[in-house]
Amino acid sequence: MSYCTSRFRTVRRRSVEVNVGAIGVGGTNPIRLQSMTTSDTQDIAATVRQSIALAEFGCEIVRITAPNVAASKCLKDIRAQFTAAGFGHIPLVADIHFLPSAAMEAVEHVEKIRVNPGNYADKKKFAVREYSDAAYDAELQRLHEAFSPLVLRCKALGRAMRIGTNHGSLSDRIMNRYGDTPLGMVESALEFLRIAESHSYRALILSMKASNPKVMIQAYRLLVQRMAEEDMHYPLHLGVTEAGDGEDGRIKSAIGIGSLLLDGLGDTIRVSLTEDSVYEIPVARAIADKAMSLWRPEPATQTPATDSLDPYHFTKRETTTLTFSEDCVVGPEQPPRVIVRVPSVESLALAANALASPKFNDTPAEGLLVPIAGPGDLAVLCGVLGTTALPARFLALEIAPTLTPDLLQPLLAMSRGRIVLVRSFGRSEAEPLQAFAGLVQRHGHSLAVQIAPENFSSLTPTLQALGDSALLFTLATHDPAAGHAIGAYRRLAEQLRAAGSRAPIWIRNTADTAVRSENTFLSKLLEASFLTGALLCDGLGDLVSIETEADAVRATKLAYNVLQGAGARSSKTEFVACPSCGRTLFDLQTTTQRIRAQTGHLKGVKLAIMGCIVNGPGEMADADFGYVGGAPGKINLYVGKNCVQYNIPQAEADARLIALIKEHGKWVDPGPATA
């Protein structure tokens, strides 16, 4: 059973409607936007102020932490004052960890309760033990007894509930049977879901959050597939937890949330940024609007339109090898390569000079894409190549249909570097395809075959005869009526598989592949995250280009940040930072920025910065090192999930963290470009 109706177009998943106070979630409702206050919940005035600010920015559901009974009792006055301020229509959600007693108090005052099945009345000691079937069943019975009172009270009061699984906080029981896997996340939620259903309580929303977008995407897909097998159709709340701040946080969130929304999954979203909560709302609004613009009605037939990729386990598509230079190879075990478009051949030298800066040593523009409209552009290009040292490993020339192999032969014959010719081929252009493939093969270059999926079948015999040598495939345009651009690339990959081709795929973000055409940097960032990020998380993509950004420097940076966010290529330190809440024991924003300034050059290292023990060793999951609030003014340092230094004064914690990184051989001194 497929997790979605179509892998090629956005057909919204059918879900039941759940009322969260006056707000409907799922069903035919629009995507609802959520965020969370960061104040101490017991500071009632501050929490009400933050709730009002969020509502005024367009937040439709406000979540507030309730870490203990005292905080839960404060929700009564918070609800009353928020309503008195004119926001009675905005529901409040109590965020519960560990304590059923806090949940039982909170449910009396707010419209929704969020519980984390990994730690609600459960153990999280990272204990290693084997559970017999009898012992496992005994644990489930204990859980049933602990969770049922909250379920029954929610049912009696008409409250909604979110069963919110987090990748890094699975119970020891789940960890020992399933590991910290997407399957373990799903099983954790299903345990609680079945208890709720045993009491005929169905005002439920589910989430599967992780800081790794690939894990998060796979977990949601698997959850939907498993629920569909049991005829369950509960709404989904989407989010990438601990996404971080700035461009990186927005990219990670857009990759995870956008990928699922374009598959038709998701009814309410939160963008978790380590910034003031109000800044989450415009990003969430832009993501939701892009997805809803693609929604199509569910077709009469329920036969899924799908491909052969395994959507529940990440496997990178196998490709042949193309060598562009000694240090730039596309193929197995190679990271995706970055191509940067320059607007014209006249601007090539200027862009090359800008990208030759030492600050791009770790993030080079490996290919430069140049439009070549006619013989005049070819002459200018030859002049530039004679006078300018290009920082790129190869040139990609997007050639107009009027340029013949004869006109291009002199350039390819004299070029000392590798050239990729980029040309579109229609369904009746088998002969030009053969001619251009022969041209590049004779001179040791490559051909990027730009071909619409609907034209592929007519050219398949020619492509099979040519083989994979010197060929790669891409799209620059697609027909929106046929689905989204992600679907077009998925279809292209499927057609290559059917044709027996392992040629590399180049993901091009262009105006024609965009969901919508706003010309803001945020829109370009989201578009790149949606298309490139989603495909990379599917295991597709060997070269990438962000062509919607005209500035070569910004386009290069954005491409590498998307690759980093998708876990496809590491070019700097990765930060897993929680978005702050009332449990936080230090200022997360300034701390994250300060630590980034000192450690941001550590390529391949993952650092977790967590405000409290709830978001501590569990939530940071696969981080190399952790900086976790242990008590007011005190920091605990972790290596993986193991706390190795306790209660360090915060003034000493940065230096101790760096010393710990050095001790484990992960430190390198910053170079001149990053110092």
| 599 and 540 both lie in a single domain | no
Please tell me the total count of domains within the chain. 3
Residue 243: what pLDDT?
73
- Tell me the C-alpha to C-alpha distance, in Å, between residue 572 and each of 28, 154, 161, 549: 42, 46, 39, 22
Q: What is the pTM of this model?
A: 0.92
φ, ψ of residue 589 in degrees (nearest 5) = -65, -55
Is residue 55 a contact partner of residue 90, using CB atoms and an 8 Å limit? yes
Residue 361: what pLDDT?
86
Choose among 398, 356, 355, 316: nearest CA to 569.
Answer: 316
Residue 97: what pLDDT?
83
| 101 and 184 both lie in a single domain | yes
* Full domain range(s) for residue 339: 322-565
d(CA 459, CA 426): 8
Please report whether residue 220 resides in a domain.
Answer: yes
| 205 and 92 both lie in a single domain | yes
**One-character DSSP codes across 399-468:** E-TT--HHHHHHHHHH-SSEEEEEEE--TT-HHHHHHHHHHHHHHT-EEEEE--GGGHHHHHHHHHHH-S
Please report whether residue 415 resides in a domain.
Answer: yes
| 531 and 613 both lie in a single domain | no
Residue 675: what pLDDT?
43
Residue 254: what pLDDT?
96
The answer for residues whose C-beta is within 8 angstroms of residue 259's C-beta and 6 or more apart is 213, 217, 486, 530, 533, 534, 537
Domain finish residue from 533, 565, 597:
565
Please report whether residue 303 resides in a domain.
Answer: no
| 83 and 202 both lie in a single domain | yes
Is residue 646 a contact partner of residue 628, using CB atoms and an 8 Å limit? no
Residue 619: what pLDDT?
59
d(CA 487, CA 317): 16
| 496 and 537 both lie in a single domain | yes
Is residue 239 a contact partner of residue 207, using CB atoms and an 8 Å limit? yes
Please report whether residue 603 resides in a domain.
Answer: yes
- Please compute Rg for the chain using Cα positions: 26
Please report whether residue 106 resides in a domain.
Answer: yes
Please report whether residue 457 resides in a domain.
Answer: yes
Residue 613: what pLDDT?
64
d(CA 464, CA 328): 26
Residue 617: what pLDDT?
56
| 358 and 459 both lie in a single domain | yes
- Give every residue of the chain whose pLDDT is below 50, as ranges: 675
d(CA 586, CA 564): 27
Residue 392: what pLDDT?
84
Indicate the residue type of 105.
E
CATH number of the domain residue 150 falls in: 3.20.20.20
| 165 and 268 both lie in a single domain | yes
- Mapped onto helix, strand or coil, the DSSP state of residue 96 is strand
| 339 and 248 both lie in a single domain | no
Domain finish residue from 565, 588, 622:
565
| 226 and 330 both lie in a single domain | no
Is residue 238 a contact partner of residue 261, using CB atoms and an 8 Å limit? yes
| 204 and 268 both lie in a single domain | yes
| 453 and 517 both lie in a single domain | yes
Residue 127: what pLDDT?
61
The DSSP call for residue 496 is H
